[in-house]
Amino acid sequence: MFLLPFHVIGVSHAANSAERVGRLRLSAERTDALLASLRARESSAVLLSTCHRTELYWWGEEELGEWFVTEVIGDTGDAARGSGGPNVRIDRVDADLAVRHLFSVASGMQSARYGEPEILGQVRRAWTAACEAGTACGPIDALFRQSIDAARHIRGAMGSDGDPTLGDRVAERILMQCRTRTASANGDPLTPLRVLVVGSGDAARSTLEALRERSAGGGAALPPMHIDVTSRTDERAAATAERFDVTALPWTERDTAMVAADVVIFAVHVTSPLVLPAFEAAVVTREQPALWIDLGVPGAVSTDFQASQVEVVPLKAIAGAEAPLLQVERTRRASSALQHELDRYARATHRLQLGARLGALEERAVAAAIAHGDASAEGVARRVTRLVLRELTRA
């Protein structure tokens, strides 16, 4: 591309534990205070803080690396920049690599769950907050606008979460559970299977669609079920429940629902386990065994969770053999789209810089025309056109 005075410094899940990165996540109030500090310095910067990363993006010759370490990392421990220190690893990239980093972060290519959609909204909100604070003016504003547009194109090329048959495989696993449940009933009538879906994203929708199709007689039919869905955002749970004609539960009631459910499907994105070993005491009262299917990456159920009444089935036991190949293809498409968007940004930026230099080019053309004894309007126009075309061919 070309050298730009654009920089990124930060802490992410790629080089630090989820617990460490989570501790560094900035509250809205803390973000506002830090942006006010940047405004006082007349810095052109954006602060992005999520459960997976806390990063400072800035434009200009000013050095803000030490400011980030002092003001953002603060007293969380010694920071080891560029090395695997005992506490926090801080990474930094500059110029065209910083632009690549921003585009790949906004599109979800740098997320713990590849391609997750939430990050694009988080980048947009971080940029909006900086605009409102007065720290995202000029080139950095244009760059973030371009990154959001680029992320949409990259996500379009990337496609949705790989395996389109995941919901069917979840349904098959539930059917196996139903057969076991029927055999253990010794002919006694069974109550409807209670199913709880935790999450409202792509995996949850794929699962609910498969369960709805099986309940309607498609494929190997499932027995009568009562399905509840819960999500960290109650509004999204309600919308998902309405779409699939199931029941929405408040997020605050999830623990009680998990204990009562015969099948729990974890289709929620978390940075640390949602179910810890301490929850074993809550399910010890169950009379019938329960099936928990964990589709999370990383898992929503702690690997240390052990309860005789619960069978935990991880994603790797559900995903098909073709899932890794689908992910490779998805990554290839995203990488190709990312390079296309970077090239597009480079061309646009070069033309913008050229436009700012048109006045100087015109002066050079006039001087050249006079030097060659051709100061007519036509002569100047020819030389301006020649210079502009020469510059444009470099874009």
Average pLDDT over residues 20-40: 90
Q: Output the six-digit token pair for 97.
A: 């690599």
d(CA 55, CA 89): 12
pLDDT score of 59 more than 90: yes
In this structure, what DSSP letter does residue 275 have? B
Binding residues for NADP(+), by number, are 199-204
d(CA 262, CA 292): 8
pLDDT score of 217 more than 70: no
What would you measure as the largest C-alpha separation in the chain, in angstroms? 107
Residue count (the chain): 395
Classify residue 281 as exposed, middle or buried by CB count within 10 Å of its CB (0-12, 13-18, 19+).
Answer: exposed
Contact 311, 290 (CB under 8 A): yes
Name the residues annotated as catalytic: 51
Domain range summary for the chain, segments of one domain joined by +: 6-159, 166-319, 359-395
**Its pTM surpasses 0.75:** no
What is the separation of C-alpha 130 from the centre of its chain, rounded to a whole number of angstroms? Answer: 20
Q: Output the six-digit token pair for 132.
A: 């409102």
Binding residues for substrate, by number, are 50-53, 111, 116-118, 122
Judge if the upstream peptide bond of residue 298 is cis by omega within 30 degrees of 0: yes
Of the candidates 70, 62, 55, 59, the residue with the CA atom closest to the CA atom of residue 13: 55
Q: Which fold has domain 166-319?
A: Rossmann fold (3.40.50)
Q: What is the pLDDT of residues 82-136, one digit of tens each?
A: 443 447 889 999 998 999 999 999 999 988 777 877 889 999 999 999 999 999 9
Q: What is the pLDDT of residues 329-374, one digit of tens each?
A: 778 888 999 999 998 888 877 666 655 555 665 666 667 666 766 6
DSSP state string for 50-66? -SSEEEEEEESS---HH
pLDDT score of 77 more than 50: no
Q: What is the pLDDT of residues 134-143, one digit of tens each?
A: 999 889 999 9
Q: Classify domain 6-159 by CATH number.
A: 3.30.460.30
More reliable by pLDDT, 299 or 39: 39
At position 192, the amino acid (one-letter code) is P
Instruction: Specify the pLDDT at position 83.
Output: 41
d(CA 188, CA 326): 44
Instruction: Specify the pLDDT at position 81.
Output: 45
Instruction: Name the strand (E) or helix (H) holding 184.
Output: helix 166-185
Q: What are phi and psi of 88, to 5 degrees?
A: -125, 130
Binding residues, by number, are 50-53, 111, 116-118, 122, 199-204
